[in-house]
């Protein structure tokens, strides 16, 4: 079947099987490999992207379900090479170690601030409960999100 999804502002159409997951569509068809596959069971959040403006786990959504929708991935955040404030905050606050969870973490964090622009430390921790960092660098991730919220 043919699905049309706008990814990072660019309208694309690709042939997929009904069982094609959105994360595979993004990585294999749209060739955007910034979105990682972690647990593949909607637990870890590494595959988090924005679907129609809201954070979602792309390993648990069919590309067919996103047909006609708009997806933003980590590659879509920078404008003219200028990093998104959340990306800058992660860089400045050492919000990443190995970096594997980072694309999903950044997308979830931006989604969180869209819904709650000035969260408390606790609200950040709760808001990011669907994203796991196996380096356990949570303190600096929270610090990064709070720094971005205060900019």
Partner 1 sequence: MIPAAFEYKRAGSAEEAINLIGQYGDEAKFLAGGHSLIPLMKLRLAQPTMLVDIGRVKDLSYIKDAGDHIAIGALTRHMDVEKSPVLSQHVPLLAHAAGYVGDAQVRHRGTIGGSIAHADPAGDIPATTLALGATYVVQGPNGKREIAAKDFYKGFLESALAADEMLVEIKVPKMNGAGWSFQKFNRRAVDWAIVGVAAWRNNGASGVALVNMGSTPVLASAVSSALAKGASVADAAAHAADDAEPQADLNASVEYRTHLAKVLVRRALEQASK
- Which chain residues interact with partner 1 by CB under 8 A? 1, 17-21, 24, 40-43, 45, 48, 51, 54-57, 60-62, 64-65, 108, 111-112, 115, 127, 129-131
Nearer to partner 1, 127 or 137 (CB): 127
Rounded least distance, CB 144 to partner 1, Å: 17
**Cα angle for residues 22, 133, 111 (degrees, 5° grid):** 55
Q: What is the dihedral of CA 28, 31, 33, 37, to 10 degrees?
A: -20
Smallest distance, partner 1 to C-beta of residue 81, A: 28
Minimum Å distance from CB 55 to partner 1? 5
Cα atoms in the 13 Å half-sphere on the side-chain side of 20: 20
Q: Tell me whether residue 91 or residue 120 sits nearer to partner 1 (CB atom).
A: 120
Minimum CB distance to partner 1 smaller for 30 or for 112: 112
Closer residue to partner 1, CB minimum distance, 78 or 126? 126
Residue of 74, 82, 78, 80 lying closest to 105 (CA atoms): 74
Q: Which is nearer to partner 1, 76 or 127 (CB)?
A: 127
The whole-angstrom separation of Cα 59 and Cα 41 is: 7
C-alpha 93/C-alpha 42 separation (Å) is 27
Nearest distance, CB of residue 83 and partner 1, angstroms: 23
Residue 42: count of CB within 10 angstroms of its CB: 15
């Amino acid at each position: 079947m043919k699905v049309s999804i706008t990814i990072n502002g660019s309208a694309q159409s690709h042939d997929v099987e009904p069982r094609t997951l959105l994360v595979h569509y993004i990585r294999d068809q749209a060739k955007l490999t910034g979105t990682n596959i972690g647990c593949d069971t909607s637990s870890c959040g590494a595959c988090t992207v924005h679907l129609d403006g809201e954070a979602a786990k792309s390993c648990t959504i069919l590309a067919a379900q996103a047909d006609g929708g708009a997806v933003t991935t980590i590659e879509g955040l920078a404008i003219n090479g200028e990093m998104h404030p959340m990306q800058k905050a992660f860089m400045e606050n050492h919000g990443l170690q190995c970096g594997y969870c980072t694309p999903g973490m950044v997308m979830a964090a931006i989604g969180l601030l869209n819904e709650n622009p000035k969260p408390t430390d606790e609200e950040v921790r709760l808001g990011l409960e669907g994203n796991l960092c196996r380096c356990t660098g949570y303190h600096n991730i929270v610090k990064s999100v709070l720094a971005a919220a205060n900019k």
